[in-house]
Amino acid sequence: MSPHDGISLGVSGLTTWLETAEGPLHAVDGVDLEVRPGECFALVGESGCGKSMTALSVLRLLPEAGHISAGAVHLGGEDLLALPEAAMRAVRGRRIAMIFQEPSTSLNPVLTVGRQIVEVIERHTDVSGDAARAKVLELLAAVGIADGERRFGEYPFQLSGGLKQRVMIAAALAADPDVLVADEPTTALDVTIQAQILDLLKKLQSERGMAVLLISHDLAVVAQMAQRVAVMYAGQIVEVATREAFFRAPQHPYSQMLFAALPAAANRGAPLAVIPGQVPALTQRFRSCRFADRCGLVFERCRTEPPALVPAGLGHAARCHLREAGQAGPRSAGPGAAAVHAAGEPGPLLLEVSGLKVHFPIRRGLLRRVAGHVKAVDGVSFGIREGRTLALVGESGCGKTTAGKALLQLIRPTAGTVRFGGRELTALSRSELRPVRAAMQIVFQDPYASLNPRMRVADILAEGIQALGAAATAAELDRRIDAMLEQVGLPRESRKRYPHEFSGGQRQRIAIARALAVEPRLIVCDEPTSALDVSVQAQILNLLKDLQDRLGLAYLFITHNIAVVGHLAHEVAVMHQGRIVEHGPVGDVLSRPQHAYTRELLASVPEIDAVPER
What are the residue ranges of helices labelled H in 249-376?
A: 253-260
- For 451-464, the pLDDT digits (tens) are 999 999 999 999 88
239 falls within a domain: no
Strand partners for 372: 362
74 and 197, same domain (yes or no): yes
- For 266-283, the pLDDT digits (tens) are 677 788 888 887 788 888
Confidence of residue 560 (pLDDT cuts 50, 70, 90): confident
221 and 269, same domain (yes or no): no
Q: How many domains are contained in the chain? A: 3
473 falls within a domain: no
Determine the average pLDDT of the residues in 432-453. Answer: 86
Task: Dihedral sign for Cα 230, 231, 236, 239, please.
Answer: negative
Q: Considering only CA atoms, which of 268, 232, 238 is closest in space to residue 251?
A: 238
Q: How far is CA 25 from CA 19, 53, 475, in A?
A: 6, 12, 41
Please state, in angstroms and rounded to a whole number, the distance separating the CA atoms of residues 320 and 253: 8
How much is the pTM? 0.82
310 and 383, same domain (yes or no): no
269 and 392, same domain (yes or no): no
Query: Can you tell me whether residue 277 is helix, strand or coil?
Result: coil
pLDDT of res. 576: 93
396 and 534, same domain (yes or no): yes
Q: Considering only CA atoms, which of 380, 363, 381 is closest in space to residue 372?
A: 363
**R_g (Cα) of the chain, nearest Å:** 26
pLDDT of res. 472: 67
What is the amino acid identity at position 165? Q
463 falls within a domain: no
Residues 6+ apart with CB under 8 A from 39: 211, 212, 227, 228
260 and 406, same domain (yes or no): no
114 falls within a domain: no
398 backbone φψ class: left, alpha, beta (φ>0; ψ -120 to 50):
alpha
Query: Can you tell me whether residue 583 is helix, strand or coil?
Result: strand
Sequential DSSP letters for 207-227: HHT-EEEEE-S-HHHHHHH-S
142 falls within a domain: no
Residue 339: is its pLDDT beyond 50? no
State which of 325, 340, 366 marks the end of a domain.
325
Please count the CA atoms within 13 angstroms of the CA of 573 that sit on its side-chain side.
Answer: 22
What is the amino acid identity at position 65? A
- For 563-606, the pLDDT digits (tens) are 889 899 999 999 999 999 999 999 999 999 999 999 999 988 88
96 and 200, same domain (yes or no): yes
Query: Can you tell me whether residue 453 is helix, strand or coil?
Result: coil
Please state, in angstroms and rounded to a whole number, the distance separating the CA atoms of residues 231 and 45: 6
222 falls within a domain: yes
pLDDT of res. 49: 87
38 and 186, same domain (yes or no): yes
For the domain that residue 92 is a member of, what is the CATH number? 3.40.50.300
191 and 314, same domain (yes or no): no
Q: Which domain holds residue 276?
A: 253-325
147 falls within a domain: no
533 and 410, same domain (yes or no): yes
Query: Can you tell me whether residue 509 is helix, strand or coil?
Result: helix
- For 185-230, the pLDDT digits (tens) are 887 677 887 888 888 888 888 888 889 999 988 898 999 999 999 9
262 and 219, same domain (yes or no): no
Q: Considering only CA atoms, which of 358, 354, 353, 351 is closest in space to residue 578?
A: 358
435 and 539, same domain (yes or no): yes
Query: Can you tell me whether residue 595 is helix, strand or coil?
Result: coil
193 falls within a domain: yes
- For 63-100, the pLDDT digits (tens) are 888 999 999 999 988 999 999 999 999 899 899 999 98
Query: Can you tell me whether residue 133 is helix, strand or coil?
Result: helix
Sequential DSSP letters for 369-406: EEEEEEEEEEEEEEEEETT-EEEEE--TTSSHHHHHHH
pLDDT of res. 341: 42
Please state, in angstroms and rounded to a whole number, the distance separating the CA atoms of residues 216 and 201: 14
- For 145-200, the pLDDT digits (tens) are 888 898 999 999 888 777 888 898 899 989 889 999 998 888 767 788 788 888 88
Residue 505: is its pLDDT beyond 90? no
Across 397-516, the runs of DSSP E, i.e. the strands, are: 415-420, 423-424, 440-443
What is the amino acid identity at position 299? F
Please state, in angstroms and rounded to a whole number, the distance separating the CA atoms of residues 91 and 80: 8
What is the amino acid identity at position 7? I
